[in-house]
Amino acid sequence: RGSCASHLLKVSTQWLKEGAHGWRLDVPNEVDAINPDFWPEFRKVVKRQDPDSYIVGEIWTDARQWLNGTKFDAVMNYPVRSAALEFIVKGGIEGQQFARDLSRQLATYPEPALRVQFNLLGSHDTARIRTIAGGDLRKVRLAQTFLFAWPGAPVIYYGDEIGLEGGKDPDCRRTYPWNRPELIDTQTLSHVQTLGKLRAQEPALRRGTTRFLVSEAKLSAFVREPE
């Protein structure tokens, strides 16, 4: 176990030397179960090589134990994804529950971690949001708007910016339709581009505080305010 850990630590710094700026770590909880000292040591080694490198863990549930400053900078924020899909796309929960689910994370995650959470609506392990929405791209764009307004780092899984379809893994890993313009929804693409520009222009969307204004059965609204 020691020689394996040593090899992986060398690999982590070698890729940083080659130009990488961070690591996305697959099923890190399984590594932690075998060697609980590995991720703290991994963080020390990586941050010593590049203090600005970004360490993201694939954790699907509450991640407070991983975000205490000794392991990861962020995790793949599946709880936020779940809340967004249930309320905005599926209509499976009401606005009050949506606000409670999101507020729980705001209240329990450290502020530095909240600002850099890996917020997503889909990944290589999940069905694509357009498919989950039954093809309703209005719901897709509304969910994307939420993603860019919520605290953290908005992450678009390749193809979701053009409304690509795909069911559960492996169907969600379809190749990008470079030569099939009929599969590209230009309205969704333009929408995502606009969201990216707004996020870059408005400091409150990147670093501002978050406050819910109203949460009702079919309505939930929050505001981002400059610090």
Contact 4, 11 (CB under 8 A): no
- Across residues 147-158, what is the average pLDDT? 98
Model confidence at 82: pLDDT above 70: yes
Question: What's the pLDDT tens digit per position in 42-53?
Answer: 999 999 999 999
Helical (H) or strand (E) element with 89: none
Question: How confident is the model over 210-217, as a mean pLDDT?
Answer: 95
Report how far apart the first and last C-alpha atoms of the chain are (Å, whole number). Answer: 46
Q: Among all residues, which ones are annotated catalytic?
A: 26, 58
Q: Which pLDDT score, from 0 to 100, does residue 69 have? A: 95
- Tokens standing for 43? 């963080």
For position 166, what pLDDT does the model report?
98
How far is C-alpha 137 from the chain's CA centre?
20
CA angle 100, 146, 159 (to 5 degrees): 130
Q: What is the pLDDT of residues 111-120, one digit of tens each?
A: 999 999 999 9
The candidate with the shortest Cα–Cα distance to 219, out of 102, 96, 95, is 95
How many Å apart are CA 133 and CA 143, to the nearest integer?
A: 10
The verdict on whether omega for the bond into residue 170 sits within 30 degrees of 0, i.e. cis, is yes
**pLDDT tens digits, 156-196:** 999 999 999 999 999 999 999 999 999 999 999 999 999 99
Q: Which residues contact 218 (CB under 8 A, 6 or more apart)?
A: 94, 95
Question: Tell me, what's the pLDDT at 165?
Answer: 97
- CA dist., res. 200 & res. 214, Å (int): 26
Structure confidence at residue 4 (pLDDT): 86
Tokens, residue 13: 């710094």
**pLDDT band at residue 3 under the 50/70/90 scheme:** confident
Strands (E), the chain: 22-25, 54-57, 74-75, 118-120, 153-155, 209-215, 220-225
Q: Which residues contact 135 (CB under 8 A, 6 or more apart)?
A: 165
Q: Could you give the percent of the chain with pLDDT greater than 90? A: 97
Let me know: does 150 contact 119? Beta carbons within 8 Å: yes
In the beta sheet, which residues pair with residue 211? 223
pLDDT for 69-79, tens place per residue? Answer: 999 999 999 99
Number of other residues whose CB lies within 10 A of the CB of residue 63: 24
3-state secondary structure of 88: helix
pLDDT for res 2: 60
pLDDT band at residue 227, thresholds of 50, 70 and 90? confident
Work out the average pLDDT over 206-211. 94
What are the pLDDT digits (tens) for 12-38? Answer: 999 999 999 999 999 999 999 999 999
